Chains A and B, each alone.
Chain A
Amino acid sequence: MKRIVIIGATSSIAEHCARCWIQKAPVDLVLVGRNKEKTEHVAMDLRVRSPQSTVVSMQIDFLDPIHIKQLADDLEKEAAIDIVLIAHGVLPDQSRCQTDLVHCEEALLVNAVSPVLFSEGFAASMQKAGHGTLAIIGSVAGDRGRKSNYTYGAAKGLVARFAEGLQHRLAGTPVNVVLIKPGPTDTPMTAHMTSQSGRLASASEVAKQIVSGIDKGKPVIYTPAKWALIMWVVRCLPRWVFNRINI
């Protein structure tokens, strides 16, 4: 049985990834969340879907480096981990970030600092074990800063640069690092963007592509795939053009 650890397991995208995995074959799943009850609800669902899998849920403070390190070591010690998916994140209100610096700080901590702590923790234990794939969810928003969400974009950009460095460091080792960049997806995170609802990808479709991308060991997964092209164009736009676009 594959052993998979999901950080931010109550995220809709992560939950659909878990459903994909257990649908393929029974797995040994560890779900990590900040809220005990919500995480356990996800675990109960997965146990019904796959009685042969083992699913445990646990709670942790997502900004506590000592405990994060401990968790990574303990889980690796229990049994070798095949995949870690780091999925948590929050979409802050950009205009509020500009005036309410507490809100701004929170967004940076949850979207950038916390995933880095988990990644370092698990990268170390996986490297020691000489085995496993570390998959981190970034975002297309991290590819270029834009006025409507650059705080979030900057945090996701940090994750991207971090993943790049980690890939460099672990190149030639058996440990794989995968950076996932979803486009706008229909999840609770985007529930307020009702005017866009027709243009959002479904979480199950995005999850399917993530799971198959991880299987193939792709270094970067844009999902849905069209975002690779769109973001390439966005990155190429000269500043004087980009700055005139209202996005």
Chain B
Amino acid sequence: MVKVFSWGRLEGAESDAHSLHQRGDVSRVIQRTGSGIAHGMGRSYGDACLNPACVIWKTAGLDHFIRWDEETGRLICEAGVLLRDIQRLMIPRGWMLPVTPGTQLVTVGGAIANDVHGKNHHVLGSFGDHVKGVTLCRTNGDVIECGPDHQSDWFKATVGGVGLTGVIVTADIQLRRVAGPWLEAETIPYSDIDEFFQLADASESAWEHTVSWIDCLSLKGRGLFMRANPIDKKERLISFPRQKKIPFVLPISFVNSFSLKPFNAAYFYLKKRQKGLSIASIESFSCPLDHILEWNRLYGPNGFFQYQSVVPRADALNTINRMRREIRAAGQGSFLAVLKTFGKKAPLGFLSFPQPNGVTLALDFPNKGKTTLALFERLDAIVHDAGGRIYLAKDACQSRDLFVSGYPKLEQFLSFRDPGISSQLSRRLMGY
């Protein structure tokens, strides 16, 4: 038994961990160990990748590339390969992953199982939209090859299926051509949510990446809007930042009511001074925290939650403002509040998170026990009223009701579950 954490470091779960190393062995191992769940890099914040007192299958050892076609940009690899390794190998060759989340230190399997999105969702959709096929091993020994054009229902269940349809062993991904890793980025301060929506609407057609940082503790919801487009800067040398590591879990949370307000204010003013155009690499623009390894340790021994919801655009202004008021009143929340609009394309997966044209708000909360959970209940009620949903990659505590109302294709999904697979999340939300 080993202690296994997810990114939120809420409570470590003692689990029986089995490492997968050979693609040829996966089927045998998962048939032998008894009911378990796949665990990639554990970059989910909540309990999607946890299985206390039961088995987890660690997939990070499945890190082999299998085939690369320079002409077509099709990459076949094992599911434990890191997105960062694909990017670093392929960008110098003029190709890259069309979609990456806010950290590249995740596995291909994890990116598919949560159908992750990036800052370019309005242009390129989510990760699953670029996967042409996967090989799935089930605990009854079946091996299923599925993709958007073959066995497509299996594929729709597996993309965003939080590991519950089987273990993804290999994936076939379509990369896109790029001139290099460089983006031309622009930062624009906004003073309230209304202004945010104006900026988002004005930027979506001409800018490939859009995202914003919002200060949830400010009265009107000031923030910084960031947008970026790829540019060709062949003369610039490609280099990768050195990584630093937070060496241990801090004894108390560094994120507390004393540090939050001044930090937010300072960050806002510093960034506001840097407004305007600049050049950034895709790594530093998309994944600013990736070179500080294990930054989640800053939240101290009790860990933290990330609360990420999406709500329909129609009434979003009102909904986001209601959520902000609750968060402000509770005096919680953190510096990492992200507000973003999704594109209009409906995602593939039955349980994929991005709602077409939805507006998503994500922020971290240090775990203060009951007071934090009570705040989440109030936020859940607002999301429920608005017809929104909570992201399973981040979730540790939403109610079953909200889950059922938020994911209308749940019934379709359930028939594809592998009876030999369950996680803390699936038991909490789906019964087993």
Q: Which residues of A contact B (CB under 8 A)?
A: 12, 37-38, 41-42, 44-45, 48-49, 51, 188, 191, 194-195, 197
Contact A48 B21 (CB under 8 A): no
Chain A: which residue is nearest B21 at the CB level? A188
Chain B: which residue is nearest A45 at the CB level? B64
Q: Which residues of A contact B75 (CB under 8 A)?
A: 48
Taking CB atoms and an 8 Å cut-off, the chain B residues in 51-71 that contact chain A are: 61, 64-68, 70
Q: Does B381 touch A at the CB level, under 8 Å? A: no
Contact A51 B68 (CB under 8 A): yes
Q: Does B23 touch A at the CB level, under 8 Å? A: yes
Q: B207-228 toward A: CB 8 Å interface, digit per residue (1/0)? A: 0000000000000000000000
Chain B: which residue is nearest A48 at the CB level? B65
Q: B42-58 toward A: CB 8 Å interface, digit per residue (1/0)? A: 00000000000000000
Q: B254-284 toward A: CB 8 Å interface, digit per residue (1/0)? A: 0000000000000000000000000000000
Contact B22 A41 (CB under 8 A): yes
- With contacts A44-B64, A194-B2 taken as known, whether A188 is within 8 angstroms of B19 at the C-beta atoms is yes
Query: A44 contacts which of B1, B24, B67, B89 (Cβ < 8 Å)?
Result: B67
Q: Interface size (B, Cβ < 8 Å)?
A: 19
- With contacts A194-B1, A194-B17 taken as known, whether A38 is within 8 angstroms of B65 at the C-beta atoms is no
Chain A: which residue is nearest B81 at the CB level? A45
Q: How far is the CA of A51 from the CA of B65 in the complex (A)?
A: 12
Q: Which residues of B contact A195 (CB under 8 A)?
A: 2
Chain A: which residue is nearest B76 at the CB level? A48
Contact B68 A48 (CB under 8 A): yes
Q: How far is the CA of A188 from the CA of B23 in the complex (A)?
A: 14
Q: Which residues of B contact A (CB under 8 A)?
A: 1-2, 17-19, 21-24, 61, 64-68, 70, 75, 77, 89
Contact A38 B67 (CB under 8 A): no
Q: Smallest distance from the beta carbon of A156 to chain B beta carbons, Å?
A: 23
Q: How far is the CA of A42 from the CA of B70 in the complex (A)?
A: 20
Q: Which residues of A contact B89 (CB under 8 A)?
A: 48-49
Q: How far is the CA of A197 from the CA of B19 in the complex (A)?
A: 12
Contact B68 A45 (CB under 8 A): no
Q: Smallest distance from the beta carbon of A224 to chain B beta carbons, Å?
A: 15
Q: Smallest distance from the beta carbon of A210 to chain B beta carbons, Å?
A: 19
Contact A12 B65 (CB under 8 A): no
Contact B21 A42 (CB under 8 A): no
Query: B21 contacts which of A12, A44, A45, A194 (Cβ < 8 Å)?
Result: A12
Q: Which residues of A contact B70 (CB under 8 A)?
A: 51
Q: Which residues of B contact A51 (CB under 8 A)?
A: 68, 70
Q: Smallest distance from the beta carbon of A104 to chain B beta carbons, Å?
A: 26
Q: How far is the CA of A38 from the CA of B24 in the complex (A)?
A: 8
Q: How far is the CA of A44 from the CA of B61 in the complex (A)?
A: 16
Q: How far is the CA of A217 from the CA of B23 in the complex (A)?
A: 36
Q: A44-B66, A194-B17 are known; give 20 further A-B pairs, CB within 8 A.
A: A41-B66, A42-B64, A44-B64, A44-B67, A45-B64, A48-B65, A48-B66, A48-B67, A48-B75, A48-B77, A48-B89, A49-B89, A51-B68, A188-B21, A191-B18, A191-B19, A191-B21, A194-B2, A195-B2, A197-B17
Q: Which residues of A contact B64 (CB under 8 A)?
A: 41-42, 44-45
Q: Which residues of A contact B23 (CB under 8 A)?
A: 41
Q: Smallest distance from the beta carbon of B194 to chain A beta carbons, Å?
A: 49
Q: Smallest distance from the beta carbon of A91 to chain B beta carbons, Å?
A: 15
Q: Which residues of A contact B22 (CB under 8 A)?
A: 38, 41
Q: How far is the CA of A197 from the CA of B75 in the complex (A)?
A: 32
Q: How far is the CA of A49 from the CA of B1 in the complex (A)?
A: 35
Chain A: which residue is nearest B22 at the CB level? A38
Q: Smallest distance from the beta carbon of B387 to chain A beta carbons, Å?
A: 44
Q: Which residues of A contact B61 (CB under 8 A)?
A: 12, 188
Contact B24 A37 (CB under 8 A): yes
Question: Can you list 7 A-B contacts (CB < 8 A)?
Answer: A12-B21, A44-B64, A44-B66, A45-B65, A48-B89, A191-B18, A191-B19
Q: How far is the CA of A195 from the CA of B1 in the complex (A)?
A: 7
Q: How far is the CA of A128 from the CA of B65 in the complex (A)?
A: 37
Q: How far is the CA of A139 from the CA of B67 in the complex (A)?
A: 34
Contact A45 B66 (CB under 8 A): yes
Chain A: which residue is nearest B65 at the CB level? A48
